[in-house]
Amino acid sequence: MAREIFEETGLDTEEITPLNLGSIYNWEDEVYEEHNFITFVKHGNIVLNEEHSKHKWLDIDNFIKKNKMG
């Protein structure tokens, strides 16, 4: 997974934690499966392209606030 993250973002990761959730969706007559995870990045600049236009990169504090249950 670290290799895929690097290929897609150019970022080196320190740790990858699967969230054990995701989604399956259809796009252009194909079925895709998406997996969600948390990763900590060693360093680098985050640049999202058109493929990632609906993705969000959050620091840990904002991730916790956005995903707080209850």
CA-CA-CA-CA torsion sign (57, 17, 6, 30):
negative
Partners of 16 in beta bridges: 39
- Quick one: pLDDT at residue 56? 75
Q: How confident is the model at residue 70 (pLDDT cuts 50, 70, 90)?
A: very low
Q: pLDDT, tens digit, for every residue of 10-60?
A: 888 888 998 888 889 998 999 999 888 888 888 777 777 777 777 777 788
Global pTM value: 0.52
DSSP string, 14-37: EEEEEEEEEEEEEETTEEEEEEEE
The Cα–Cα gap between 37 and 20 comes to 8
Return the domain boundaries, the chain.
Answer: 2-48+55-64
